[in-house]
A and B are shown apart, each in its own frame.
Chain A
């Protein structure tokens, strides 16, 4: 019986966070620290004509003003035109600041003012005078939609079957065009870096989802060995994808520190965050579905165009899961991208999936109405028993149970089919459903465990905890398999001195890093057994590593607890102060024989005030099947957060650009709306656990992104059911419902 896995546990880092002991990037100090403030440009395209820093340099406390004129060149790839051949390197064509006079997007950094205090730097930043040779820019994806091209990266858009023909012959068809505006992650914590050089060695405190990636980026930026760079990022106040890539500020900060020979700190303002990292792209989607009268899908066409920048390719893989969610013999789901004079988009929570499923699951609802079939029933009719893309079986898939349980909890059978048929006084009531889907990914990851005879363990891996509870879940896994109590385990992450871990993205951390910790714990167990059995009278003689387990200071036979050795004594007799094992876990070969996905079903109730267009999401029931749940407390928290994100995307979030200036006009939290408490009503999250022995040794699948994937569509579908209005363009604000 597991002692910790599967049981609720509060965050091990909770107290440190609420008492301020947990240090975030901007909170680190260094002697003689100087403060940098970024100056942003004001045109969308062209070149800097002149930049006058004299007044800023004379301002009190100013140490230096960096511009493209005096900033050293960063990295071997100073020119964006030198496209590196490999995809891995392609990712690091990321924008670096102050490298030339060229302007690629509005609110691009054009100077860094470094001063003795933050206030002095910020003040002086206003004294930098810049003029431009502006060129005609394009920031409107709609305007360059026709120029869209297939991205070099990602899977080629191969059709399945004969979708055009099948569509032509379909008994019932629906077709619609759906739009998602640019969105920004807006984590609470602003991005920040503190850079400290010691000769040619750099230590940088950063807000990061992948310290190794930042390390590589900085090493290439300064032409120094990666081992000369240490990236430290112990706590992250939310990131949601915005810190997956290095962004431009770490190299900018380190450059200033190197030039000035003193530590420098740079912190984004909220406004700077809107171009200081990427965004969810503006996405135009055409979905056409064809079906037989009995509801069986015969054709799915899902065409996507979204923006990228002029200097880098980004694909959101919007249609990736469209290929795997429903059984349909004929499908075409191509994605194309088009250049805009904006910063490069990036992954934002549930990237691609939530955008694609908004369109597809809205279209499925439209099809249900065209067919006069209950929307949930339509999804069951087209349930994929095997992966429609590869034909492989699923490693596990409890989606049918998610639908059943969610419908039962929600009371779906009481739903009246016709739109505008349910009321609560003056309010229109709408019930909507949608399917959620996400990959059960696993990446190579390494963890190190140091076990001590006093019954404590130190666990380390260079992963991140951007909020999902990685500190806690890894502590639980280590405690479980080392036979310790959680308080005997110290887990450290977010430091490139620790063994390599993948980015905290894709909802793969527990599957990847958890498996590495599990493997390292088993390696410690095996090593102890080896030492124990060096002794002639070992009660474990003949036992294999798989036969024994550690528990409460003993190494014992699983099948007979009376056969054990005292771990501390074994270590003492062998003069071991500690046992250290490092383990790298990799996705198994067996996974290749299966499709590995996580699924969910969402049931949403909205109440719409039809007179004033006001929508409230009054009930959300989300049932997800994502393997084994290690910490139900943090897991529910993830799914609840996913629902809230879905509410924001469905009803509120939009980055607004004035295309005349190519400039984001709402780069702040007063104009860019995210849900507040009053927008959030009843949310119930339920897990249908799956016993999946294929995905990874722990049987876990990711959930952090899954939780939001179906929500915007379910809300839009509920709004249709309430009002009879099909809103195909997010967000659904009051003006769209009048």
Chain B
């Protein structure tokens, strides 16, 4: 890889300052994605600011009945934490659907949100990619795009956000707490954390340069009983989703009071379907209603040359996830 400066941050403020001061600096946490990308010459930071000594790994109850998850808590520890298992089992399911045990032991929650697309063109520096090198074009738009977006893509970029955890977080309406170099904290609703590619696909998310994720806050959840994370992929494990669905229902005497339907690997960000949720709300939990919701969710899909299957697969995956969530199968 290219030479870079390695800085070990002593506290969050110093870390944010160090990165803010250098446009080519990046944070380093678990390193499960950025180090690979540096070896492939896709990421070219000249400085890495190591966060791993920061005390940001706690998982604690928050006022109002929620839970706050430290940005540096490992995926494994998060998925297995009693508070998460009990109150947010959807999150546990989503995390363990991703990567492998070894990777989850290294990967942090903040880093998971920051993972970059798995588009093949992004990974190959000889290929055009507006995300990697703005202005070079999108290799996948007219190329191999079986794993690419069916929602929200632009002519500049058809890549997807590949992760699992964020899909569940969106269904759980998490807030991402970030801190900048001057110590100012703000929270970003998870649905606004990642962004659509538009004309600037090089930007995966709405963080300012130097802003550091310190925690993910989960509000009190009514979805601990009826939930399901479904990941459809080309092999049984250790593959990114073709389509993923995070489904969560609040059911009261067979009537759905609240529904959350988030799809993964279909867009540049976790793709929540308000249409599906509206179609479910106030209605009985039934396969027929789930089909209607699924149709609503995929109605706006715009598939590419090789991924039309995602539309049908997306519908079926939503129905399946909702059926499981409602415990009808």
Contact = CB atoms under 8 A, between A and B. Distances in A.
Contact of A661 (B123, B127, B238): B127
A126 B124 CA distance: 13
A723 to B, nearest CB: 14
Given A658-B139, A665-B124, A666-B120, A738 B235 contact: no
Contacts of B319: 611
A126 B40 CA distance: 10
Interface stretch (A19-27, A253-261, A667-675): A667-675
Contacts of B233: 734
A738 B238 contact: no
Nearest to A735: B309
Interface residues of A, number: 33
A671 B144 CA distance: 12
Interface stretch (A49-57, A158-166, A298-306, A612-620): A612-620
B311 to A, nearest CB: 10
A665 B144 contact: yes
B236 A613 contact: no
A122 interface: yes
A562 interface: no
B234 A611 contact: no
A735 B236 contact: no
Nearest to A681: B236
A678 B239 CA distance: 11
Contacts of B230: 612
Nearest to A667: B124
A656 B146 CA distance: 11
B314 to A, nearest CB: 10
A53 B127 CA distance: 21
Interface in B220-267: 230, 232-240, 242
A613 B313 contact: yes
A673 B144 contact: no
Contacts of B329: 426
| Most A-side CB within 10 Å, residue of B3, B120, B126, B235 | B235
B177 to A, nearest CB: 30
Nearest to A647: B235
A119 B235 contact: no
Contacts of A612: 230, 232, 313, 316-317, 320
B236 A678 contact: yes
A515 B147 CA distance: 51
Contacts of B238: 676, 678
A677 interface: yes
A611 B239 contact: no
A738 B126 contact: no
A673 B239 contact: yes
A735 B235 contact: no
A734 B235 CA distance: 9
A569 interface: no
B227 to A, nearest CB: 18
A215 B1 CA distance: 34
A678 B313 contact: no
Contacts of A397: none
Contacts of B236: 616, 676, 678-679
Given A42-B126, A663-B126, A733-B234, A671 B143 contact: no
A735 B242 contact: yes
A129 to B, nearest CB: 13
B312 interface: yes
A660 interface: yes
A412 interface: no
A719 interface: no
A612 B329 CA distance: 15
Contacts of A656: 120, 144
Given A612-B232, A679-B236, A734 B41 contact: no
Given A670-B118, A735-B309, A663 B2 contact: no
Given A616-B236, A663-B127, A676-B238, A122 B316 contact: no
Nearest to B142: A660
A652 interface: yes
B193 interface: no
Interface string B49-60: 000000000000
A738 B309 contact: yes
A671 B120 contact: yes
B151 interface: no
B123 A668 contact: yes
B126 A123 contact: no
Given A612-B317, A613-B313, A670-B118, A734 B232 contact: yes
B242 A734 contact: yes
A663 B125 CA distance: 12
Contacts of A738: 309, 312-313, 316
Nearest to A679: B236
Interface string A676-706: 1111000000000000000000000000000
Contact of B1 (A123, A658, A665, A734): A123
A675 to B, nearest CB: 7
B129 to A, nearest CB: 12
A306 B208 CA distance: 52
A658 B143 contact: yes
A668 B118 CA distance: 12
B143 A660 contact: yes
Contacts of B126: 42, 663
A663 B124 contact: yes
A614 B232 contact: yes
A651 interface: yes
Given A656-B120, A658-B144, A679-B237, 5 more contacts: A673-B235, A676-B236, A677-B237, A734-B233, A734-B242
Interface of B: 1-3, 41, 118, 120-121, 123-124, 126-127, 139, 142-144, 146, 230, 232-240, 242, 309, 312-313, 316-317, 319-320, 329
Please give me the 3 A-B residue pairs with the lowest Cβ-Cβ distance, nearest first.
Answer: A678-B236, A735-B309, A678-B237
